[in-house]
Chains A and B, each alone.
Chain A
């Protein structure tokens, strides 16, 4: 400490109202803790929802269809999406992209090669290529090619391996094996038919359907279909946040339905957001009170040393010197408080990350950048408010 400040310390007693200062500091500490915890909880929750580690790939894509009710049975046009409805979906803020799922208008049969004795009727669907994550040459089809890439739903392979194969005494197959298995695909409409070799290009959780490239579907529907473009009954949308409560509400309001699993976070998120907001709000209120008490404390200290301060100024002490001295008395206090709150949050975060990791949920072991920024901002705010009160009361008393 400057020797001059050491002498000032004997004149300007900051020991007065220690209880008040302690309360203000405690209040500031708790306020900071609440604020930081709220911000950190928000960061963590977002991390749990969106970060790559916690996310399965389907989180970004939702397949939407209308609810099939008893009244609609036998009227397939009622489950179709009209162009107006489609436009409405596209205009929603949470929809980043939307595309039809186009069904095949022809018969499809698949047969396994060799003596696997596998033969089945099936169907194809296609979505715009931008919704497919197998984005390479494996997912391309040009007219004239005899081989079609196909994406299977993961569920399908599971059903086969664990349901069908076991009960029928058939061999279970791995994804790799399936990918190397050429499947004989026959598509037909009446007497017209064509044969292709199906090549499994990948497996998807996103869309539970047998997908072929859009180019193939277009060609085949034109060649083997009715010729008229069919209205889509399923729509796939890409969204940043499938748990967005507004999205869930939109679906409900319009009588649409989707894979409920993917929107299940919506409610949890709403609850967590509310709790986090309430905590943050209390933190803010407490912070305001702490600032108020700090200001009052500074006023008290300066008022109680009014005579001494006047004499100091008379002897030539600059108001700036007095301000610097007083700030130095308080600044370490709230700097320590801030650092303590930050350390506590870091400890909590570390503990939380370990506990969550045990449940295969991964959050960073360190407080987020937002939390650090918030801590700095709060400290800056306290500094500015204190500086202002010191300036004000020194000016009043000198």
Chain B
């Protein structure tokens, strides 16, 4: 799955962006399938905005996000849903779990969304074990700590098939050990699918073997 950016400029940040250089904004850019992409960005430079544009939940921009040669707007809602179930996955910065569901149910919701789930429940439990959140699985989403929520959100993003995984500060609430465990799991899962990811973060890091590094 090919993702290209063509002179993408977010409307709310237009004036601000004209005053400083960027590897991403207002450029012609193509992400090679299967590559691990890191986008480093200071606060307020439109990191989350970019991830939302890539995942097509915001479209207040000029220019285009092209998916397989077509702008996101060309896809209808059902096709978009199908792509979010099988082609692209996301870890939101604000995590976005359902508080009325337990941690496990939040993961299951995503896993069972596909009539033929991509992975088994055993696989989910195994991933929970690796990220050391097995004990919180039966807990309501409301009672989880941020760190626990973040790990549940990571597992949720990994139970579906995808070609691209978008991550917006995925380790912001995790200590280094937990962050590395999560990164290893993500890398393994991406490799297993021959999928790529686009990760945005504030700082430099060496948790992944990045193929490309950009500054936003």
Contact = CB atoms under 8 A, between A and B. Distances in A.
Interface stretch (A115-123, A263-271, A315-323, A351-359): A315-323
A292 B95 CA distance: 39
A390 to B, nearest CB: 14
B208 interface: no
Interface stretch (A2-10, A93-101, A188-196, A224-232): A2-10
A320 B113 CA distance: 12
A71 interface: no
Interface in B126-143: none
B84 A316 contact: yes
Contacts of A361: none
A317 B98 contact: no
B17 interface: no
A398 interface: yes
Given A7-B108, A311-B96, A319 B113 contact: no
Given A11-B101, A315-B84, A316-B160, A3 B96 contact: no
A398 B57 contact: no
B96 A318 contact: no
Nearest to B55: A314
A319 B110 CA distance: 15
A287 B49 CA distance: 49
A82 to B, nearest CB: 75
B112 A320 contact: no
Contacts, number: 57
Contact of B98 (A11, A319, A395): A11
B108 A3 contact: yes
Interface string B176-204: 00000000000000000000000000000
A11 B98 CA distance: 8
B112 to A, nearest CB: 4
In this complex, the interface size class of chain B, counting residues with CB under 8 Å from chain A, is 20 to 34
Interface stretch (B2-10, B20-28, B32-40, B75-83): B75-83
A236 B202 CA distance: 103
Decide if the interface of chain B is mainly helix, strand, loop or mixed. helix
Interface in A50-106: none
B85 interface: yes
A308 B113 contact: no
Contacts of B100: 10-11
Given A3-B112, A317-B113, A321-B113, A308 B98 contact: yes
B109 interface: yes
A8 to B, nearest CB: 8
A313 interface: yes
Interface string B93-132: 0001010110001001110110000000000000000000
Contacts of A10: 98, 100-101, 105
A11 B99 CA distance: 9
Contact of B77 (A4, A315, A398): A398
Contacts of B109: 4, 7, 11, 315
Contacts of A308: 98
Interface string A203-229: 000000000000000000000000000
A3 B84 CA distance: 19
Contacts of B105: 7, 10
Nearest to B97: A311
A314 B112 contact: no
A7 B110 CA distance: 10
Given A3-B112, A318-B78, A311 B98 contact: yes
B78 A319 contact: yes
Interface string A283-314: 00000000000000000000000001001011
Given A4-B113, A7-B109, A317-B113, 11 more contacts: A3-B108, A7-B105, A10-B100, A11-B100, A308-B98, A313-B81, A315-B84, A317-B81, A318-B77, A319-B78, A320-B81
14 contacts: A2-B112, A4-B113, A7-B112, A311-B96, A313-B81, A315-B96, A315-B109, A316-B83, A316-B110, A316-B113, A317-B113, A319-B78, A395-B77, A398-B77
